[in-house]
Amino acid sequence: MVKAVVGACWGDEGKGKITDMLAEDADIVVRFQGGANAGHTIVNDYGKFALHLLPSGSFNRNVTNMIGNGVALDIPQLVSEIEEVVSKGVPRPNIVVSERAQVLMPYHRLFDQYEEERLSDRQFGSTKSGIAPFFSDKFSKIGFQVWELFEDDRLKEKIENVLEVKNLMLEHIYHKPLLKTEEIFATCKEYAEMIKPYVIDSVTFMSKAVKEGKTILLEGQLGSLKDPDFGIYPMTTSSSTLAGYGAIGACIPPYEIKEIITVVKAYSSAVGAGAFVSEIFGEEADELRRRGGDGGEYGATTGRPRRMGWFDCVASRYGCRVQGTTAVAFTVLDVLGYLDEIPVCVGYEIDGEVTKDFPTTARLERAKPVLKVLPGWKQDIRGIKTYEELPENCRKYIEFIENELEVPIKIISNGPARHDIIRR
Ligand code: GDP
């Protein structure tokens, strides 16, 4: 049984928490896209963790955690995350890495930073983790798959060829120090030693796991609106954030992905630049940011304050639709307990017309939110275990949003901890 846990909007919906919880009954958790550019925060019996690359099943002894071929593999980052969780008392996680995953090279971070510097006020708001240069290289066929780290002669020759172009760019576009083959080769050999214990033939591994009926969770990073095809292009990420990409990035037959659990947050937040129709500002935003998530809405990787907004039905319905959602996990609902009234965005007004369909980027940037105000419940709902026990206005909020999303909300998260969950 293969399930995907993915995000509906801009990311930070609480996928880590939902995956960590579902991993209790899973055999394998796979990261199938993205890299170490975003993070997920997990609170469980071992403490609080900000993971970037480690799959969220890493806290469960019985789970094999795989870095799939679709991931931008930052080797030092992965190894340091493993050591970090171990140092905090977590049993050493069972990690495997696809031999076909590509390696984030040290210069990918540099190019990310240099390009953002060059763009100056036109920049993408990159986390400068090297993701965009990494995926450009992958599809320009000048990236390095993990197995290449172990083939010394061809590795050296390829580095030399790749650096020819990189150095032209460094010299003439960015005016930065040049790269040396010997140094990059030496770093690659260090990477090879670091990653060696984890490397597997993931295609054989996965096909066997699927055949044996193992419970496999595909863990997405970011959300639908950051997808390079369906998101707010070009203010998106560089690898697909959709469950469907799990078939590629984890090597799973597409028809085996039976459940697509899309994580939807009870209000909106976004990082980086780009259109955000239901965004709020000032004290109203500051208060939601302070109370949001678990200890405030600040980026797990960058510490940047997140942009805040009311729940956006248009964006979230679209986000669920492009994921192919079979069920929604509705998260961080407890945070809204302080509000007398809760506005939600139910439509976009664009050029004098109201639409409920999510538009392409230029029209999106002209959209103004059409808000509907729902009554708040003015109560702390943490600790509640059944749907019926939730305050009436809280249930009404959930049911209103469920109706707008056009997919059933089956999981409700009312606190950051693993078992702050209501099933419906
Ligand atoms: P991810 O990238 O989708 O995994 O999301 P993040 O981990 O970046 O952001 C979610 C934040 O909300 C984290 O700080 C979680 O601990 C926290 N969180 C998750 N679910 C809940 C919830 O139901 N209530 C509260 N208060 N916090 C939650």
pLDDT tens profile 219-256: 999 999 999 999 999 999 999 999 999 999 999 999 99
Q: How far is the CA of 265 from the centre of ligand 1 (A)?
A: 9
Separation of alpha carbons 327 and 245, rounded Å: 18
Q: Tell which atom from ligand 1 comes closest to the C-alpha of 56.
A: 4
Q: What are phi and psi of 146, to 5 degrees?
A: -55, -45
Give pTM, 2 decimals.
0.95
Q: Which ligand 1 atom lies nearest to the CA of residue 335?
A: 26
**Given the residues 20, 40, 108, 420, the one annotated as active site:** 40
DSSP per-residue letters across 166-211: HHHHIIIII--PPP-HHHHHHHHHHHHHHHGGGEE-HHHHHHHHHH
Query: In a mutational test of the pocket of ligand 1, which residue from 9, 13, 41 has the highest number of ligand atoms less than 8 Å from its CB?
Result: 41
Per-residue pLDDT tens digits of the chain, which is 424 residues long = 999 999 999 999 999 899 989 999 999 999 999 999 877 888 888 988 888 999 989 999 899 999 999 999 999 999 999 999 999 999 999 999 999 999 999 999 999 999 999 998 888 777 788 999 999 999 999 999 999 999 999 999 999 999 999 999 999 999 999 999 999 999 999 999 999 999 999 999 999 999 999 999 999 999 999 999 999 999 999 999 999 999 999 999 999 999 999 999 999 999 888 899 999 999 999 999 999 988 899 876 677 899 999 999 999 999 999 999 999 999 999 999 999 999 999 999 999 999 999 999 999 999 999 999 999 999 999 999 999 999 999 999 999 999 999 999 999 999 999 899 999 9
Q: Are the beta carbons of 17 and 411 closer than 8 angstroms?
A: no
Are 137 and 143 a contacting pair, CB within 8 Å?
yes
Strands 421-423 and 409-413: antiparallel
Cα gap 121→138, rounded to integer Å: 27
Give alpha helix (H) positions in 282-411: 282-291, 313-323, 361-366, 392-405
**55 within ligand 1 shell (Cβ under 6 A):** no
- In whole angstroms, what separates CA 319 from the centre of its chain? 13
| Sign of the dihedral defined by the CA atoms of residues 35, 230, 373, 331, in that order | negative
Alpha-carbon Rg of the chain, whole angstroms?
A: 22
Distance 268 CA to ligand 1 centre (A): 12
Residue (of 311, 350, 114, 315) closest to 226 by Cα position = 315
The minimum-distance atom of ligand 1 relative to the CA of 222 is 2
CA distances from 170 to 207, 300, 379 (A): 42, 30, 57
Please tell me if the CB atom of residue 17 comes closer than 6 angstroms to any atom of ligand 1. yes
Listed in sequence order, the residues at least 6 apart from 118 whose beta carbon sits closer than 8 Å to its beta carbon are 173, 174
Q: Is 12 a catalytic residue?
A: yes
* 40 classed as catalytic: yes
State the pLDDT at residue 271: 85
- DSSP bridge pairs for 422: 412
Secondary structure of residue 40 in the 3-state scheme: strand
